[in-house]
Amino acid sequence: MHEETEITSLPDRSIELPEPVAKFIEEWKDKPGNLIMVLHKVQEHYGYVPRDVAFEVAARLRVPLAKIYGVITFYHFFKLRKPGRHQIAVCMGTACYLKGGEDLIKELETILGIGLNQTTPDGEFSLEAVRCIGCCGLAPVLTVDGQVYGRLTKDQLADIVARHRGA
């Protein structure tokens, strides 16, 4: 079921992959359906999927680059641009929406001076809205680098941002 397309002419962009990523690819190289798992590993390491790494993955897995970008752009989880050092993700699941998730986003946009899916000029914070993270009992919630803050009100946000700035 997998594409047997041979990649004949890869541009000369071959790069060194960091050890954990290289090792992971080596381990998964021959397993069917490995692409998404490999992309997860890449994003875990870089925070996104850099273009030259995507080329390298294509070469090592012998998968067409188009397929890799097809997969990356299909799934919300994968990012093509480098996120901020701290990633703020506001939950927009139903419970959080009903309890004011949108207000949290607006307030954060004001505090950070950026819009949704943008990164502050100093590269410190990026802001995104995410699907339900399953803490509906604590709605509205957001996460900063995976750490969950719940039962939030707008006035707590400046504090939370300050706590992570430079940390």
Partner 1 sequence: MAYTQFVLVCAGTACDSCHSRAMYERLVEGVRAHGLADRVQVVRTGCFGFCAQGPVVKVLPDESFYVKVQPTDADEIVAEHLVKGRPVRRLLYSGPAPAAAVTDIPFYQKQLRIVLRNCGLIDPENVHEYIARDGYAALARVLTEMTPEDVIEELRRSGLRGRGGAGYPTWKKWSFTKAVEADTKYIICNADEGDPGAYMDRSTLEGDPHSILEAMAIAGYAVGAHQGYIYVRAEYPLAIHRLDIAIRQARELGLLGRDILGRGFDFDIEIRLGAGAFVCGEETALIASIEGKRGMPVPRPPYPAVRGLWGRPTVINNVETLANVPVIILKGGDWFASIGTETSKGTKVFALTGKVNNSGLIEVPMGITLREIIFDIGGGIKGGKRFKAVQTGGPSGGLIPEQFLDTPIDYESLAKLGSIMGSGGMIVMDEDDCIVDVNKFYLEFTVDESCGKCAPCRIGGRTMYNLLTKIAEGRGTVADIEQIQTVATAMQKASLCGLGQTAPNPVLSGLRYFGDEYRVHIKERRCPAGRCRALVTYTILPDKCIGCTLCARRCPVNCISGERRKPHIIDLTRCIKCGECFQVCKFGAVQRS
Partner 2 sequence: MGKITLEELRELRERARAELVRREADTSGGDIIVGMGTCGLAAGAREAMSALVEELNRHGLSNVRVRPTGCMGLCHSEPTVEVRIPGMPEVIYGKVTPEVARRIVEEHVLGHKLLDDHVYDRPAPDLMSPPARPGK
The bridge status of strand 86-91 relative to strand 125-130 is parallel
78 binds, among partner 1, partner 2, none (CB under 5 to 8 A by kind): partner 1
Interacting partner of 95 out of partner 1, partner 2, none (Cβ under 5 to 8 A depending on kind): partner 1
Report the residue number, 54 or 135, with the smaller CB distance to partner 2.
Answer: 135
Long-range contacts of 27-35 (CB under 8 A, 24+ apart): 29/60, 29/61, 32/1, 32/2, 34/61, 35/61, 35/63, 35/67, 35/68, 35/71
**Cβ proximity to partner 2, 64 vs 150, nearer residue:** 150
Total residues in contact with partner 1, by rule CB under 8 A: 36
Query: What is the chain's alpha carbon radius of gyration, rounded to the nearest angstrom?
Result: 19
d(CA 2, CA 154): 49
81 contacts partner 1 (rule: CB under 8 A): no
* C-beta separation of 31 from 55 below 8 A: no
By CB under 8 A, name the one of 36, 59, 111, 160 that touches partner 1: 36
141 binds, among partner 1, partner 2, none (CB under 5 to 8 A by kind): partner 2
Q: Report in angstroms how near the CB of residue 94 gets to partner 1 at its nearest.
A: 4
Minimum distance of partner 1 from residue 16's CB (angstroms): 24
Sign of CA dihedral 65, 70, 71, 76: positive
Residue 27 neighbours by CB distance under 10 Å: 13
Q: Does 115 bind partner 1 (CB under 8 A)?
A: no
Binding site for partner 1 (CB under 8 A): 1-2, 32-37, 39-40, 67, 70-71, 74-78, 92-95, 97-98, 106, 110, 130-137, 139, 146
